[in-house]
Chain A
Amino acid sequence: MTFRHPTRRGFLASTMSSLAALAAAGAMPRRARAATPPGVLVVGQIAEPKALDPAAVTAVNDFRILVNLYEGLTRYKPGTLEVAPGLATDWTISDDGTVYTFTLREGVRFHDGTPFDAEAVKFNFDRMLDESHPYHDTGPFPLAFFFGSVAKTEALDPRTVRFTLNEPYAPFLSNLAYPTGLIVSPEAVKRHGKEFGRNPVGTGPFRFVEWRSNEAVVIERNPDYWGEKAGTEAVIFRPITDANTRVAEMLAGGIDLMVEVPPTSLAQFRGGGFSIVEQAGPHLWFLILNCKEGPFADKRVRQAANYAINKEAIVNDVLEGTATVAAGPIPPAFNWAYNDALEPYPYDPDKARALIEEAGAAGAKLVFYVTEGGSGMLDPVPMGTAIQADLEAVGFDVEIKTFEWNTFLGQVNPGLEGKADMAEMAWMTNDPDTLPYLALRTEAWPDKGGFNSGYYSNPKVDELLEKARTSTDQAERARLYKEMQVIVHDDAPWVFVANWKQNAVTSDRVKNFRLEPSFLLHLASVVKE
């Protein structure tokens, strides 16, 4: 099969001919329909993508396609969340941490043949950040605040680009590796305007072929890729929103690879021509406790909640082993910033009762906000019910209020004051800074535009987080984060519940597949037999 013409017809013709060849060989014509052709990987996605413009999308589901089409200046080293060179080969950071100068990789071209250079990088960031840029109207760009600290971007020469930040901001490098920082072709944006999201052009190992609404997004190997060429001829992403149908398609051979397998379905894939892949990610599932009022204003009661909830039972029984018990506010996937010395609160109902007694909170009534679903929320209703049972066992009277996800966010993000004592929440981030900075600082209380919905406040934590954000030395940042984790663990503004392990199932014909801790889905090295 060749893919010289990136058109639907050409693609179909070639796949048709290979199918015809298969059928002619008489190899189970019925089954041949269900089994996917070799060299073409079919991926079961959880939803239709919103757009294929990296600056405009927010969902992990869309990122899974994007990272195969585009590249950023930096990327995550495979298997880690550490930053490595991408389209930039190296960089220097000024001593005050505000000027980043990148040297760009030579000989890289976009899929449309235009060269990748410093002007292209400048175009990308100006489009996202500068409201007067002629192509700013190709947005909106909801995650542009990832680069909110960028004051200006300059192309010094074709191979050198300089970013000036208005304040030191250490997560900048890892934000560049995040899908929002992926580099698009300026010429393609100019040509397609608002339709760029359906006509993506990047520099990645795959290039775009077609997008059939609600059926498939097709990408094929980029023959001119500067690095190692992709292992499959093409990848087809199929949106299958219903989890049961996705499982059935996998069992029937209609897809080769599926992500986010429901925990209860995993057993069907053990053995029998499938392999299961798991990878812990930068995810934290926790309970926000209202530190401002009610029983949880007392630190002892907050600790009691951490002792009272049987997290082992939640991850093993409710989530069927698809998560691990969380110890603190930073997930272990950030290996360099994670404090190994931290132990999760053990399940100890007696100690919880003693602490509650001591604080005089026995029999307190708690209002608990639970969501029906949502990004990264895993199985929120059964988890909420299990938590309710554990808390009632130590003498609380817990009332659950359930909301649909968007409504839930509308209730929780403005703060829990006057409404609830606790709420479920989950975050997936790309830098250890993000979650604590946005959700644990005093300056991040909801009325100041942050996500600290439980009104936790500890000046020492504030100071450590500010310092870690402005330091450009990773070892120094790691030390600060580790210190912060110990304090937050003890203050217990949250109940630390689970770190999700992302999972995927592949058929036996798929080789070299691995999941990344970043939750992104890099398919360039995957081979299908």
Chain B
Amino acid sequence: MLLGITVIVFLIMSLIPGDPATAILGAYATPENVEKLNRDLGLDRPMVERYFIWLGNMLQGDFGRSFSLNRPVIDEVAERFSATLVLAGTSFVLCALFGIAAGVVSAVRQYGLADRLITFAVLIGISVPSFFLGMIMILFFAVRLRWFPVSGMYAIYGGGDLADLLHHLVMPAVALAAVAAGVVARLSRSAMLEVLRQDYIRTARAKGLRERRVIFGHALRSAMVSIIPVLGLQAGFVLSGAVYIETVFQWPGVGRMLVDAILKRDLMLVQGGVVFVAAAYVLFNIAVDVAQALLDPRIKT
């Protein structure tokens, strides 16, 4: 599967018009200069040969060198991917916690005031695009109130510690989590409502269990079986949504790196980056499947 991805990425990058040499030379891209630069970059060789050189090097752990950043691809990707993981991971935890909590509360208080308020908030959360929410948050919390920094991952002077990171993380993580939390909340609500109508919940209540125990011990536990796959999907969503948020908040993540690299036609960086992310995505999906199997024995067949 990963091999297929390498072929596709390589082909797409070769097919898009405009090559690295024109991107570097810009207005100075004479045929002569382009040819010389392509020779220096090793792009004058046939495509198939270049693909196998790339693949062979990658199998030995060498992802090549980014010409636009003038450093090894793997260094850049690893650094950027960890930044994305911090952002997407935090958002994921936020959206799971708040989404499930909101869903449970509104299911338990169905048609009550809390349910109406939450449903309203969720509707707004789902409808507002995350980059727009991000821009509004910047204008209000960073420019007007100056509670949080506008952009970046660490303060530019001082900082560098965990508190500084959290300070920078709040706004992008919340903006990114908002939509996903809305989706999770809606699904948690309907999953919970369905479970709460089941006979064994009535039985549990009839046994005289405390309501808290009924809801968290019995209802939520079985509802989780249908919530987990949604969480898996949302994890993919926060990872891909991170691209916009990374641009708005200038988070040094892998999404923004790929966008920049494509614009600069930095072949090695795009190819290496996509392969790395794809591999991570595959691993992540396996992890979700395993988690689901652990929770719901019926899936193990």
**Is B28 at the interface (CB under 8 A from chain A)?**
yes
Report if A249-B22 is in contact (Cβ < 8 Å); known contacts: A12-B158, A48-B69: no
Q: Binding site of B, secondary structure by majority: helix, strand, loop or mixed?
A: helix
Residues 415-452 of A at the B interface (beta carbon under 8 Å):
425-427, 438, 446, 449-451
Partner of A375, one of B19, B26, B40: B26
Task: Kindly name the residue among B24, B167, B263, B265 whose own CB sees the greatest number of chain A CB atoms within 10 A.
Answer: B24
Contacts of B69 in A (CB 8 A): 48, 50-51, 213
Selected interface stretch from A26-34, A259-267, A358-366: A26-34
Chain B residues near A140: list those with CB within 8 A. 36-37, 40-41
- A254 close to chain B: CB less than 8 A: yes
- Count of A residues near B, CB < 8 Å? 67
Q: List the A side residues contacting B24 at CB < 8 Å.
A: 58, 142
B152 contacts chain A at the CB level, 8 A cutoff: yes
Check B68 for interface membership: any CB of A closer than 8 A. Answer: yes
Q: Does B94 contact A (CB under 8 A)?
A: no
A198 touching B247 in the complex, CB below 8 Å, given contacts A34-B149, A213-B76, A215-B153? no
Q: Are A407 and B17 in contact (CB under 8 A)?
A: yes
Task: Give chain A's interface secondary structure class.
Answer: mixed
Contacts of B135 in A (CB 8 A): 244
> Which of A12, A36, A143, A427 is close to B160, meaning CB atoms less than 8 Å apart?
A12
**CA–CA, A188 and B184, complex, Å:** 55
- Is A86 located at the chain interface by the 8 A CB criterion? no
Distance (whole angstroms) from the CB of A199 to the closest CB of chain B: 11
Residue numbers in B under 8 Å from A47 (CB-CB) = 260
Answer yes or no: B157 CB below 8 A from chain A CBs: yes
B155: interface (CB < 8 Å): yes
B residues 23-59 touching A (CB-CB < 8 Å): 23-33, 36-37, 40-41
Instruction: Establish whether residues B156 and A215, one from each chain, have CB atoms under 8 Å apart when the complex forms.
Output: yes
Residues 12-26 of chain B, each 1 if its beta carbon lies under 8 Å from chain A, else 0: 000011110111111
Are A197 and B18 in contact, CB atoms less than 8 angstroms apart? no
Q: Which of B16, B138, B257 contacts A248 (CB 8 A)?
A: B138
Let me know if A245 is at the binding interface, CB within 8 A. yes
**Chain B residues whose C-beta falls within 8 Å of the C-beta of A410 in the assembled complex:** 17-19, 22
Structural contact, B152 and A215, CB atoms closer than 8 A = yes
Residue of B whose beta carbon sits closest to that of A23: B158
- Binary contact track B247-271/A, C-beta < 8 Å → 1, others 0: 1111010001100100101000000
Q: Which residues of B contact A215 (CB under 8 A)?
A: 152-154, 156, 252
Binds A, one of B107-115, B140-148, B222-230: B140-148
B70:A51 contact, CB within 8 angstroms: yes
Q: Check B31 against A449 for contact (C-beta < 8 Å).
A: yes
| CB pair B26 A374 closer than 8 Å | yes
Candidates B27, B160, B248; contact of A242 at CB < 8 Å: B248
Q: Smallest distance from the beta carbon of A451 to chain B beta carbons, Å?
A: 7
For B156, list chain A residues within 8 Å (CB): 36, 42, 215-216, 236, 238, 254
Asked if A241 contacts B147 (CB within 8 A), the reply is no
Q: Is B151 an interface residue (CB 8 A)?
A: yes
Chain A residues lying within 8 Å of B256, measured Cβ to Cβ, are 241
Establish whether residues B30 and A449, one from each chain, have CB atoms under 8 Å apart when the complex forms: yes
Among A214, A249, A407, which residue has the most Cβ atoms of chain B within 10 A? Answer: A214
B296 contacts partner chain A, Cβ-Cβ < 8 Å = no
Q: Is B79 an interface residue (CB 8 A)?
A: yes
Residue of A nearest to B164 (CB): A33
Assembly CA distance A143 to B33 (angstroms): 9
Contacts of A252 in B (CB 8 A): 142-143, 146, 149-150
Q: Name which residue of chain A comes closest to B256, CB basis.
A: A241
- Inter-chain contacts of A143 with B (CB < 8 A): 28
Min distance, Cβ A432 to any Cβ of chain B, angstroms: 16
Interface pair B138/A50, CB less than 8 Å apart: no
- Give the chain A neighbours of B22 by CB distance below 8 A: 406, 409-410, 413
Q: Tell me, in angstroms, the Cα distance from A411 to B28 when the chains sit together.
A: 14
Cα–Cα, bound, A215→B159 (Å): 13
| Min C-beta distance of A441 to chain B, whole Å | 13
Query: Does chain A have a CB within 8 A of B71?
Result: yes
A213 with B18, Cβ < 8 A, contacts A249-B150, A449-B30 known: no
Closest chain B residue to A17, Cβ basis? B158
Whether A139 is near chain B, meaning CB under 8 Å from some CB there, is yes
Q: Shortest Cβ distance from A217 into chain B, in angstroms? A: 11
| Complex alpha-carbon distance, A177 and B27, angstroms | 20
B139 at interface by CB-CB < 8 Å: yes
| Beta-carbon contact of A251 and B143 below 8 Å | yes
B26 touches A214 (CB 8 A): no
Q: A56 contacts the other chain (Cβ, under 8 Å)?
A: yes
Q: Assess whether B150 is in contact with A248, with CB atoms less than 8 Å apart.
A: yes
Residues of A within 8 A of B153 (CB): 215
Nearest Cβ on chain A to B172's Cβ, whole angstroms: 11
Partner of B27, one of A248, A375, A449: A375
Nearest residue (CB) in A for B167 is: A33
Is A19 an interface residue, CB under 8 A from the partner?
A: yes
Query: CB-CB contacts of B114-150 with A at 8 A, as 1s and 0s?
Result: 0000000000000000000001001100110011011
Complex contacts, A374 vs chain B, CB 8 Å? 26
Residues of chain B lying within 8 A (CB to CB) of residue A198: 70-71
In whole angstroms, how far apart are the Cα atoms of A197 and B29 in the complex? 22
Q: A375-B27, A408-B18 are in contact. List 8 more A-B contacts (CB 8 A).
A: A36-B156, A48-B69, A51-B69, A142-B24, A216-B156, A245-B138, A248-B151, A409-B18
B-to-A contact residues, CB < 8 Å: 16-19, 21-33, 36-37, 40-41, 68-71, 76, 79-80, 135, 138-139, 142-143, 146-147, 149-158, 160, 167, 247-250, 252, 256-257, 260, 263, 265
A: residues with CB less than 8 A from B are 11-12, 15-16, 19, 30-31, 33-34, 36-37, 40, 42, 47-48, 50-51, 53, 56, 58, 139-140, 142-143, 145, 194, 197-198, 213-216, 236, 238-242, 244-245, 248-249, 251-254, 374-376, 404-411, 413-414, 425-427, 438, 446, 449-451
- Chain A to chain B contacts (Cβ below 8 Å), 27 pairs: A16-B158, A33-B155, A34-B149, A50-B68, A51-B70, A140-B37, A142-B37, A143-B28, A213-B76, A213-B79, A214-B80, A241-B250, A242-B248, A245-B150, A245-B248, A248-B139, A248-B142, A248-B151, A249-B150, A375-B27, A406-B17, A406-B22, A410-B22, A411-B17, A425-B27, A426-B27, A449-B32
